[in-house]
Structure 1
Amino acid sequence: MGIVDRWGLRAWLRAPGSLSKRLASTGVRYEVQVLRQTVAPLRPQERAALGLPARGLTVVREVLLRVDGVPLVWARSAVHGHALTGPWKAVKGLGSRPLGHLLYDDPRIHRSELQPRRVTRHGATHRQMRQQWLEATGTEAPALMQWSRNSVFTRHGKQLRVMEMFVPDVALRDPGPLRRKARQRK
C-alpha cells in the first residue's frame, strides 16, 4: 500500500463508520448523485463476498458522492434480490438519500472488516466507473483513481456489499477521528 501512504488515502480507506457523514463534514453541501439503480449480474468479487451462487437477481446501485459539487467517491452497492423483500427492502426507495443513513441507524446491522484494494484498471468495475464518471461530470475520471474499500453489511442473515472508490484528492481532506467508539455491553 505504499502509493496509498504517499497520497494519504490510508485514513479514508480504513475510516470506520459512515463515509457519508465523514465526507459531509469536509464541506458545506453533501449530495448523492444516483447514476444507476438496476437489476444486474453480480461480479465475481460480489458473489464471493456475499457467498452467493452465480445465478439470481441482484439489485445494483451506483452513485457519485459529492461535496460542494466536487465528486470524491464512486460507490457501488449490490444486494441479492431475495434480500430485497426482507431486511434490505428500503434500498429500493433510497433515491438520492445516502445509503449510510440506512446502514448506521439500525443497531441490528453489522459490518465486516473494511478491505482496501486496488481496482484493476482494465477490469469491469473500473470501466463502469470511468464511463459513468464521464457521463455524470463531462470529464474523464482521475487517472490515479484506483483505490477502493469494500465491506459487507449483514442484517437478519442477509448481506449487502458496498464498494467505494476514492478520488486521490480526497486525501487532502481530513476524515476526522478514526477511532471507533466502544460499545457498552449490558
Structure 2
Amino acid sequence: MGLADRWGLRAWLRAPGSLSKRLAATGIRFEVQVLRQCVAPLRPQERAALGLPRRGCTVVREVLLRVDGLPLVWARSAVHAAALAGPWKAVKGLGSRPLGHLLYEDPRIHRSELQPRRVTRHGPTRRQMQRQWLAAVGEPAPAQMQWSRNSVFTRHGMQLRVMELFVPEVAKRSPGPLRLKRRR
C-alpha cells in the first residue's frame, strides 16, 4: 500500500460520525448486507470493551457495507442480551438498515474515542470475516484487509461495541466532510 493509500485509510479510520453516511456519499447506491445476527460468545476484546463477565448471552450482528455493489467494509457489532431488553432493543429489528441510523439519531447515545487497530492475521475475527466474505462475495477477502476501527456506544449505562474492518480500496475514496444534523 502506497503512502497516499495509507493516509487515505487513516482518514477513514479516524473519521467521526456515521460510517454508513460517509460511505453512501461516495457512490450512488449504499446497502447493508446482513451476514449473521445471532447469539454468540463474546471475543476477549469485546468482553473487555463492554466490561462484561465471561458468562451471559450476547447478540452479534455481522454485515458487509457495499457501495454500488462493491463490498468495502465488514462490520461486527456486539451487545449483551440484557441490553436488548432495554436501551438497545431497536438493534433486533434493524434488518438491512444501517446501525448508524440508530446510533446517530439519538442524542442520549455517546460514543467512545475511535480506536484504529490492526486485525490479527490468523485470529478468530479474521477467520470469521474470511468465511463470510467468501460466501457473500464469491471470492476471498483481500489479503491486505487488516485495519479496523473500534468504538463503544453507551446509552443509559448499557454498551454496544462496533468493529469496522476496511478493504484497502476504501482509501481511494474520500471520507470528506459530512453534513451532520444539528441536535437541538
TM-score (norm: length of structure 1): 0.93
Q: Spell out the pairing of 1:11-160 with structure 2 (5 A cutoff).
A: 11-160=11-160
* CA 1:132–1:3: 2 relative to 1, 3 Å: farther
Q: Which residue identity does 2:9 align to in structure 1?
A: L
Q: Is contact 1:74–1:166 with CA below 8 Å preserved after alignment?
A: yes
CA deviations on 1:49-92 (whole Å, 9 max, x unpaired) are 00000110000000000000000000000000000000000000
Percent identity reads: 84
Q: 1: distance between equivalents of 2:56 and 2:71?
A: 32
Q: TM-score, normalised by structure 2?
A: 0.94
Whether the 8 Å CA contact 2:58–2:78 is kept in 1: the answer is: yes
Q: 1:158–1:4: structure 2 CA closer, same or farther, 3 Å change rule?
A: farther
Ranges in structure 1 where 5+ consecutive residues have no aligned partner: none
Question: Structure 1 residue runs of 4+, over 6 Å off?
Answer: 2-5, 178-184
Paired residue secondary structure (2:133): helix
Shift of 1:177: 1.9
CA offsets per residue over residues 126-159 of structure 1, 9 Å max, x none?
A: 0000000000000000010000000000000000
Secondary structure in 1 aligned to 2:162?
strand
| 2:45 alignment partner, SS class | helix
Asked whether the equivalents of residues 103 and 109 of structure 2 are also in contact (C-alpha less than 8 Å), the reply is yes
Establish whether residue 172 from structure 1 lines up as the match of residue 172 from structure 2: yes
- Aligned partners of 2:5, 2:11: CA distance in 1, in Å? 9
CA shift for structure 1 position 8: 2.2
Root-mean-square deviation (CA), in Å?
2.0
